[in-house]
């Protein structure tokens, strides 16, 4: 009688991770479908599907077997295999720390709280959301307690989205930004405003033209309409973007470029990494650096509009017939302090994030009471941006993040802005005058450069190491500030 030899540990680990990636793929389709095409009444049944998939993935992943395989795979020579083991160990250890009961409680109560937030926001009724936010905060404290060796509570949360990032480092960058952004915004010049309507079909055509020039391939990508735009990648060669097209303005064009940035990062990951945890962008901030790069550094550049305005203008003869290219560029780049983070321009955006970063730490430290949030929110919005928040729907209730217990995530948006310009400076040093290329409708060299330096590596390098390899420096707000000063001089 012969026995089959057990597979070597690396093959075995890869097989388990590939199976988990397949389950993740299924979960991602279930999620995408629920946001794009599922009839609303299907929500309860779909929640069961997602909960089951999540539980099965979790149990499979935190198993002793995975731990034993990781133990047998220390010190591998092949750098990609070593990266796979490193990343898997990091995620396995994190997942093992959090008791299954707490994880289930967090996901269950988030589902309830997000529905309560939705209602509270619609009615601008913060009081009805207070108990839910209290619950989320309490669960977050219990979650943080699973990582007792971390220096500050907030570090636990940051590290989840941005490996190795610390509160002190973010604090330093944000203090510097605040110093410069507040006066920059105060010195802003008046800018022309665009008035619609901008018919939806014409906007969708414009979105298509831009996506195709950027390298959107209908064989592997799709785009749909949803109330809140997002990008998802269920699996290899399957990129799904969404946009929200509203005839009142042209935000859909910019949000489409934004989601393209997320999509292209995932699409251009080396195919050899497929069905493994390495087949994803390396961190939230790196991801956001790409969406911001395509949305702002490309999509709000003079070169881009030299190419695209002559194509856009005829699509909207009523709204844009008498608007010249320069006025248009000023209108879509202007600094306009407002209440809503999601609508904020390149200069004011950072202050929306800094406000949230401060409040999250104060909530965790207990130095701010939940019931006092609206008042503090409104007064700081006035200090930082000079705006008077009219009601809580346009203030403290505007974002969904806290309702699903997403604390520590907001800073990655602004770190993405900072990193986008650090990478941009490097790309320009290598590629010369990008604007001239954009003015000819050519974006391929930039995309190739990004693929080579950022995208293809997936998660092989932790974010800090990737940034260091490409730019030779660590997180640095100065290039971003210089970019803003030049742009808004």
Catalytic residues: 259
Q: Least separation, in Å, of the C-beta of 172 and Zn ion?
A: 24
- Closest CB 416 distance from Zn ion, rounded Å: 7
Q: Which is nearer to Zn ion, 251 or 437 (CB)?
A: 251
Site stretch for Zn ion (CB under 5 A), options 123-131, 289-297, 396-404, 431-439: 289-297
Stretch that binds Zn ion, among 233-241, 242-250, 287-295, 344-352 (CB under 5 A): 287-295
- By CB under 5 A, tell whether 417 contacts Zn ion: no
Supply the minimum distance, in Å, between the C-beta of residue 131 and Zn ion.
30
Q: Which residue is nearest to Zn ion (CB)?
A: 291
Contacts (CB under 5 A) with Zn ion, residues 1-40: none
CB 137 within 8 A of CB 370: yes
Phi-psi region of 75 (alpha: psi -120 to 50; beta: other; left: phi over 0): left
- For the CB of residue 409, give the shortest distance to Zn ion in the complex, in Å: 11
Residue 91 to residues 58, 59, 78, 142: CA-CA distances in angstroms?
11, 13, 20, 19
Q: Which stretch binds Zn ion (CB under 5 A): 101-109, 286-294, 423-431, 478-486?
A: 286-294
CB nearer to Zn ion: pick between 167 and 291: 291
Walk across the sheet containing 238-243 and list its strands: 221-225, 238-243, 231-235
Q: Which stretch binds Zn ion (CB under 5 A): 104-112, 188-196, 291-299, 457-465?
A: 291-299
Q: Which is nearer to Zn ion, 298 or 363 (CB)?
A: 298
Q: In terms of CB distance, is 46 or 300 closer to Zn ion?
A: 300
Please work out, in degrees rounded to the nearest 5, the angle formed at the alpha carbon of residue 84 by the alpha carbons of 70 and 56: 70
Instruction: Report in angstroms how near the CB of residue 262 gets to Zn ion at its nearest.
Output: 6
Q: How many residues bind Zn ion (CB under 5 A)?
A: 1
Q: State which residue, 437 or 459, has the beta carbon closest to Zn ion.
A: 459
Q: How far is the CB of 266 from Zn ion (least distance, A)?
A: 12
Q: Which one among 284, 291, 378, 398 touches Zn ion, defined by CB under 5 A?
A: 291
Distance CA 423, CA 433 (A): 15
CB of 326 to Zn ion, least distance (A): 29
* Nearer Cβ to Zn ion (109/245): 245
Smaller CB separation from Zn ion, 203 or 420? 420
**CB 106 within 8 Å of CB 84:** no
Stretch that binds Zn ion, among 8-16, 29-37, 158-166, 285-293 (CB under 5 A): 285-293
**Contact between residue 299 and residue 329 where contact means Cβ atoms under 8 Å apart:** no
**Residue among 277 and 281 whose Cβ is closer to Zn ion:** 281
In the complex, least distance from residue 228 CB atom to Zn ion, rounded to whole angstroms? 11
Nearest 5°: the CA angle 81, 448, 257 is: 105
Contacting range for Zn ion; rule: CB under 5 A; set: 114-122, 290-298, 382-390, 437-445? 290-298
HEC string for the chain: CCCCCCCCHHHHHHHHHHHHHHHHHHHHHHHHHHHHCCCHHHHHHHHHHHHHHHHHHHHHHCCHHHHHHHHHCCCCCCHHHHHHHHHHHHHHHHHHHCCHHHHHHHHHHHHHHHHHHHHHHHHCCHHHHHHHHHHHHHHHHHHHCCCCCCCCHHHHHHHHHCCCCCHHHHHHHHHHHHHHHHHHHHCCCCCCCCCCCCCHHHHHHHHHHHHHHHCCCCCCEEEEECCCCCEEEEECCEEEEEECCCCCCCHHHHHHHHHHHHHHHHHCCCHHHCCCCCCCCCCHHHHHHHHHHHHHHHCCCHHHHHHHHHHHHHHCHHHHCCCCHHHHHHHHHCCCCCCCHHHCCCCCHHHHHHHHHHHHHHHHHCCCCHHHHHHHHHHHHHHHHCCCCCCHHHCCCCCCHHHHCCCCCHHHHHHHHHHHHHHHHHHHHHHCCHHHHHHCCCCHHHHHHHHHHCHHHCCCCCHHHHHHHHHCCCCCCHHHHHHHHHHCC
Nearer to Zn ion, 276 or 291 (CB): 291
Q: C-beta of 258: minimal distance to Zn ion in Å?
A: 6
Q: Which residues bind Zn ion (CB under 5 A)?
A: 291
């Amino acid at each position: 009688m012969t026995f089959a030899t057990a597979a070597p540990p690396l093959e075995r680990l890869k097989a388990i991770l590939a199976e988990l990636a397949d389950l993740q793929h299924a979960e991602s389709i279930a999620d995408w479908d629920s946001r794009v095409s599922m009839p609303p009444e299907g929500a309860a049944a779909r929640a069961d599907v997602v909960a089951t998939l999540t539980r099965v993935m979790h149990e499979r992943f935190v198993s002793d077997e995975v731990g034993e395989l990781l133990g047998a795979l220390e010190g591998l020579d092949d750098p990609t295999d070593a990266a796979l083991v490193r990343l898997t160990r990091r995620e396995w250890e994190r997942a093992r720390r959090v008791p299954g009961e707490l994880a289930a409680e967090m996901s269950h109560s988030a589902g309830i709280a997000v529905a309560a937030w939705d209602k509270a926001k619609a009615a601008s009724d913060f009081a009805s959301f207070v108990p839910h936010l209290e619950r989320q905060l309490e669960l977050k404290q219990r979650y943080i307690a699973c990582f007792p060796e971390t220096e500050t509570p907030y570090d636990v949360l940051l590290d989840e989205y941005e490996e190795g990032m610390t509160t002190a480092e973010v604090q330093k960058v944000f203090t510097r930004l605040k110093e410069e952004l507040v006066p920059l915004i105060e010195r802003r010049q008046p800018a022309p405003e665009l008035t619609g309507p901008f018919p939806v079909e014409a906007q969708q055509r414009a979105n298509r033209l831009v996506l195709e020039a950027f390298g959107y391939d209908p064989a592997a990508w799709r785009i749909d309409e949803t109330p809140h735009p997002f990008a998802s990648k269920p699996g290899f060669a399957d990129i799904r973007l969404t946009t929200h097209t509203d005839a009142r303005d042209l935000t859909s064009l910019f949000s489409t470029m934004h989601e393209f940035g997320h999509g292209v990062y995932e699409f251009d990951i080396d195919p050899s990494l497929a069905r493994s945890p390495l087949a994803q962008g390396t961190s939230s901030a790196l991801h956001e650096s790409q969406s911001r790069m395509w949305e702002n550094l490309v999509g709000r550049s003079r070169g881009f509009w030299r190419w695209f305005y002559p194509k856009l203008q005829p699509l909207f003869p009523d709204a844009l017939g008498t608007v010249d290219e320069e006025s248009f560029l000023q209108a879509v780049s202007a600094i306009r302090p407002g209440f809503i983070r999601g609508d904020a321009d390149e200069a004011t955006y950072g202050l929306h994030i800094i406000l949230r970063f401060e409040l999250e730490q104060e909530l965790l430290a207990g130095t701010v009471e939940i019931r006092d949030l609206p008042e503090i929110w409104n007064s700081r919005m006035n200090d930082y941006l000079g705006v008077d928040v009219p009601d809580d729907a346009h203030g403290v209730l505007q974002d969904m993040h806290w309702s699903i217990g997403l604390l520590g995530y907001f800073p990655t948006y602004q770190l993405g802005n900072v990193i986008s310009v650090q990478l941009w400076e490097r790309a320009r040093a290598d590629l010369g005058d990008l604007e001239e290329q954009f003015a000819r409708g050519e974006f391929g060299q930039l995309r190739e450069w990004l693929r080579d330096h950022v995208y293809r590596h997936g998660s092989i390098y932790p974010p800090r190491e990737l940034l260091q390899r490409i730019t030779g420096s660590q997180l640095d707000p100065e290039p971003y500030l210089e970019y803003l000063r030049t742009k808004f001089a």
